[in-house]
Structure 1
Amino acid sequence: MNTNQRQRYQQVILSHARKPQHKGKTNLIHRQNQGENSFCGDKVDLTLMLDETETIIEDIKFEGAGCALCLASADLMAGAVKGKNASEALLMVEDFRKMVIGETEFQAPLEKLNIMQSVAKFPMRVKCVTLAWHTLKGALAGEEKI
């Protein structure tokens, strides 16, 4: 990673971690789940508001505490899955996992998620960036953990 790429990576991560666009709780809560990485202490609480057919994610918000990578990933995830149907979002969870370990990349309009690819070099950080995604999977499966 060259200096410009490293600076861009740090700017994106810090921007999403410090000023997340999807922080809080949804107005109506149709699904929720809490994820925790007991190894490092990261915690993510997700709430989802679905459409009347319970297939489209109309809104998604998170609250939590943890490292910048965890919080930035939660914010990026929320922005990426908002407006998607649940089955599409579940496929994105698996695609994100593959991207983080260097097996694939996201294409437009989701290429912003690729910022997390460099985590593949730090296997201990993979859990940090995938926590929110696994929490989403649990919420969509109805595994409410409060």
Structure 2
Amino acid sequence: MSLDNLRDLYQQVILERYKKPRNRGKTDPIDRYQKGHNPSCGDTIEITLHLTASENGAGDRIEDVKFEGEGCAIAMASADLMADALRGKTTTEALEMVQKFQSMMRGEAEFPQELRKLNVMQGVAQFPVRIKCANLSWHTLRAAIELAQNAEPAGFVSNE
């Protein structure tokens, strides 16, 4: 695929996910919750997770992920794509995905075939000032997962 075609696809997917997000709202029930904020541009996001028991009996399988917030197309599209990709994953797998996404934003990695929709966000790496927008939901997700069950989130997580 040529660079121009890839750029067009990147823009098309981001605009589609921004205009018609599939994962907006709050999970029911809410097992984890965290707010995130990007002070550079004012993007805000709230991530909620519903967790269920995995094969090992721990309540660490992500049954549902939802987000609410306001921000640029990149931040909202990234959150929506992230939510799709996380359903059914364990929290450990989700934390590995956070690392992979951040590596992708540095141009060091990409997702395997089964998660290829996330690779459309690679185009953001061409605009360093926008990388924080794409990473906001992922930073917020990490904080939500690392939060002890039934603990109160500590205000906003910043991605700076």
Q: Normalised by the shorter chain, which TM-score bucket?
A: over 0.9
> Residue 144 of structure 1 aligns to which amino acid in structure 2?
P
Q: Distance in 1 between matches of 2:110 and 2:70?
A: 27
CA root-mean-square deviation = 1.3
* 1:18 matched residue in structure 2: 19
Q: Distance in 2 between matches of 1:78 and 1:36?
A: 18
**Aligned-partner SS, 1:139:** helix
- After TM superposition, give the deviation of residue 13 of structure 1 in Å: 0.3
| C-alpha distance after superposition, 1:51-98 (max 9, x if no partner) | 043210000100000000000000000011111000000000000000
> Residue 113 of structure 1 aligns to which amino acid in structure 2?
L
Contact 2:18 2:73 (C-alpha < 8 Å) held by counterparts: yes
Q: Distance in 1 between matches of 2:154 and 2:64?
A: 19
Between 2-11 and 58-67, report the one with greater CA deviation. 2-11
Contact 1:22 1:79 (C-alpha < 8 Å) held by counterparts: yes
Give the one of 135, 141, 145 matched to 1:140.
Answer: 145
Matched, 1:95 2:100: yes
Same amino acid, percent of matched pairs: 51
Q: Distance in 2 between matches of 1:127 and 1:141?
A: 20
> Residue 127 of structure 1 aligns to which amino acid in structure 2?
K
Contact 2:30 2:50 (C-alpha < 8 Å) held by counterparts: yes
Q: For the structure 1 residues 88 and 81, does the alpha-carbon distance in structure 2 shift closer, same or farther, using more than 3 Å as the test?
A: same
Give the one of 75, 81, 95 matched to 2:80.
Answer: 75
Q: Distance in 2 between matches of 1:44 and 1:145?
A: 14
- After TM superposition, give the deviation of residue 26 of structure 1 in Å: 0.3
**Aligned-partner SS, 1:26:** coil
Structure 2 unaligned regions, length at least 5: 156-160
* 1:48 matched residue in structure 2: 49
* 1:27 matched residue in structure 2: 28
- After TM superposition, give the deviation of residue 123 of structure 1 in Å: 1.1
Contact 1:101 1:119 (C-alpha < 8 Å) held by counterparts: no
> Residue 47 of structure 2 aligns to which amino acid in structure 1?
L
Q: For the structure 1 residues 145 and 24, does the alpha-carbon distance in structure 2 shift closer, same or farther, using more than 3 Å as the test?
A: farther
Aligned residues: 146
Contact 2:98 2:142 (C-alpha < 8 Å) held by counterparts: yes
Structure with bigger gyration radius: 2
Give the one of 104, 107, 110 matched to 1:105.
Answer: 110
- After TM superposition, give the deviation of residue 4 of structure 1 in Å: 2.2
